[in-house]
Amino acid sequence: MSFKEEVYALTSQIPKGKVVTYGQLAKMVGKPKAARAIGMCMRTNPNAPIVPCHRVVAADGSLTGYSAGQGILTKREMLKAEGVFFNGEKVDLSRSRWLPSS
């Protein structure tokens, strides 16, 4: 499985109402320094929303790059509709971070 395929496979497992950070996803695929590469994968995701790239956020919970609809506004609306908790403009990672049990 290629790096991109592995990233998309893991991203597909993020449940509604939960998010991961770019760095967290990089660690999950065994490349802890590849957060920027994860961003490139999300940016070129050919299978959104099947691969829910909107559920990947910055390390501090900020919403970054989203090309669908109205960009960040659309990403925020999608996450809120799925039950993700916010603290101001950022995702409340203490309540909404996905911690897979594997």
Residues carrying an active site annotation: 53
Query: Quick check: 19 and 2 in contact, CB under 8 A?
Result: no
CA distance 71 to 15: 21
Encoded tokens for 49 = 């929303």
CA distance 44 to 25: 16
